[in-house]
């Protein structure tokens, strides 16, 4: 679904990503891990087109097409949805208005059927349609952010630290939702530091260290030695 070859990214004169190559299989959950500051969020934002790769650096192919030169809105309409760290909801819009934004971004009507699908995943949102997004708890905001992204009907869902600051029962619900999305054909690229969450969900993984890929493979290859070397603080 997503292939990244020899990608390097510099921000403010500092090299953040160094010759990163990753292959994200379709209809799988791929977990990208690493300590703080190794470039995980930069990678997601570059895939989304929010950051530019270094001149002459690498290639990003999505669903068979080269999207390296596409702006973010065209990547979104091609089928990539991004839920940023911190969730990025509109705090002064209602839950319903936040959801409408997701559908409009894909130039589609916010149909009742599409909304019912996200309400089936996150029932609490249906009860809070008139509530301002900023009045929701952190866990409810995360559910809203994912629901809004799903209304764009993505093929690839990018999730940046979805468990951060979330209560355990919501983490469990988000985990079950990710499994369901994979089973319905959506590819999920998950950036996460909660190791147990990754172990439970990931089909494949990669670890970034100092901006480069330090380890990767099927989830079964995530050994204690790799964890101790690249993830333990």
How do the pLDDT tens digits run along the chain, 233 residues long?
999 999 999 998 899 999 999 999 999 999 999 888 899 999 999 999 999 999 888 899 999 999 999 999 999 989 999 998 888 888 999 999 999 887 776 655 557 777 888 898 898 899 999 999 989 988 899 999 999 999 888 999 999 999 888 888 888 988 999 999 999 999 999 998 888 888 899 999 999 998 999 999 999 988 888 888 888 86
Here the tokens at position 75 are 């990547």
Distances (CA, A) of 226 to 44, 90, 215: 23, 39, 8
Here the tokens at position 138 are 């952190």
Which pTM was predicted? 0.91
Token pair 């990767």 is at which residue?
216
- 3-state SS class at 226: helix
Nearest-angstrom CA–CA distance, 119 and 186: 18
Q: Is the dihedral of CA 189, 195, 201, 204 positive or negative?
A: positive
CB 155 within 8 A of CB 149: no
Tell me, what's the pLDDT at 57?
Answer: 82
Tell me, what's the pLDDT at 106?
Answer: 61
């Amino acid at each position: 679904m997503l292939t990244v070859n020899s990608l390097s990214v510099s921000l403010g004169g500092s090299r953040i990503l160094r010759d990163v190559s990753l292959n994200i299989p379709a209809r799988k959950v791929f977990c990208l891990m690493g300590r703080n500051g190794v470039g995980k969020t930069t990678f997601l934002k570059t895939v989304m087109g929010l950051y530019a790769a270094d001149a002459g650096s690498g290639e990003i192919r999505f669903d068979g097409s080269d999207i390296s030169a596409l702006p973010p809105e065209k990547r979104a309409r091609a089928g990539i949805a991004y839920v940023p760290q911190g969730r990025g909801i509109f705090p002064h819009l209602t839950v319903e208005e936040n959801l409408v934004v997701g559908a409009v971004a894909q130039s589609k009507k916010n149909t009742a059927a599409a909304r019912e699908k996200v309400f089936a995943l996150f029932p609490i949102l249906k009860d809070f349609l008139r509530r301002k997004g900023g009045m929701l708890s952190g866990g409810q905001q995360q559910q809203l952010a994912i629901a809004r992204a799903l209304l764009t009907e993505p093929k690839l869902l990018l999730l940046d630290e979805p468990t951060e600051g979330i209560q355990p029962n919501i983490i469990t619900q988000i985990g079950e939702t990710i499994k369901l999305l994979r089973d319905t054909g959506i590819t999920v690229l998950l950036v996460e530091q909660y190791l147990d969450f990754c172990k439970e969900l990931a089909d494949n993984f990669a670890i970034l260290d100092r901006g480069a890929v330090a380890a990767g493979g099927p989830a079964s290859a995530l050994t204690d030695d790799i964890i101790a070397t690249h993830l333990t603080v």
